[in-house]
Amino acid sequence: MSLFLSNLEIQSINLWLSKIDYYRNSSKSQRANIAKTILQLKYKKIGNGRQRIVYDLNNGYVLKVALTPSGIQNGKTEFKIYNHCRVDLRKHLCPVKEVGHGWIIMKKMNIKVPNRIYQEKSPQLKNKFLAAGIKPRDMGNGNVRLSKKGKITVIDYGNFIMY
């Protein structure tokens, strides 16, 4: 049961996930295109990485669907870190709204971080995560956005490691 997705959409995600291993040797773009075809979701695809494809739900949230077994783990990691990290760090993590097997719904964040601000502030933020027992892997400028309050916010922390 989901507050955001219909049962049919969840069935579609489960169908894709049942075929994930079959396409494991496909290139990143091939896998994303195949997933999009199988998923048949009504939402606009706004991007994909190696591990997941991202859709805009047109309600202020995004849906990330795994493209690989590692992508399934990325969603679990984001859920775990968001719900178990220190409160002062949570404001630097994109909010998780809902999670299911192989998918996660998070707040949509659009404001890109200017390079100057990223270079100035990201080392301090990385050190905050490390001090809290979280290794911030893959925290490049493409994986961060600015909150409405001007805070650097990590939108993809599926590769982080929480000790």
The CATH superfamily holding the domain 7-107 is Phosphorylase Kinase; domain 1 (3.30.200.20)
pLDDT of residue 1 exceeding 90:
no
Give residue-wise pLDDT tens across range 118-144. Answer: 999 999 999 999 999 999 999 999 999
Give residue-wise pLDDT tens across range 73-112. Answer: 999 999 999 999 999 999 999 999 999 999 999 999 999 9
The residue-averaged pLDDT of 14-22 equals 97
The residue-averaged pLDDT of 7-17 equals 98
- Average pLDDT value for the chain: 96
Residue 112: what pLDDT? 96
Please give the full DSSP string across the chain, using - where no structure is assigned.
--SSS-HHHHHHHHHHHHHGGGGTTS-HHHHHHHHHHHH--SSEEEEE-SSEEEEE-SSSEEEEEESSHHHHHHHHHHHHHHHHS-HHHHTTBPPEEEEETTEEEEE---EEPPHHHHHHHHHHHHHHHHHTTEE-TT--GGGEEE-TTS-EEES--TT-EE-
> Kindly report the CA angle at 70 between 68 and 74, in degrees rounded to 5?
115
Domain ranges of the chain: 7-107, 111-162
Half-sphere exposure of 11 (CA within 13 A, CB side): 3
Residue 133: what pLDDT? 96
CA-atom Rg of the chain in angstroms: 16
pTM to 2 decimal places: 0.95
Assign domain 111-162 to a CATH class.
mainly alpha
Specify whether the backbone of 58 is left (phi greater than 0), alpha (psi in -120 to 50) or beta. Answer: left
Residue 45: what pLDDT? 97
The residue-averaged pLDDT of 19-46 equals 95
Proportion of the chain above pLDDT 70, given as a percent: 100
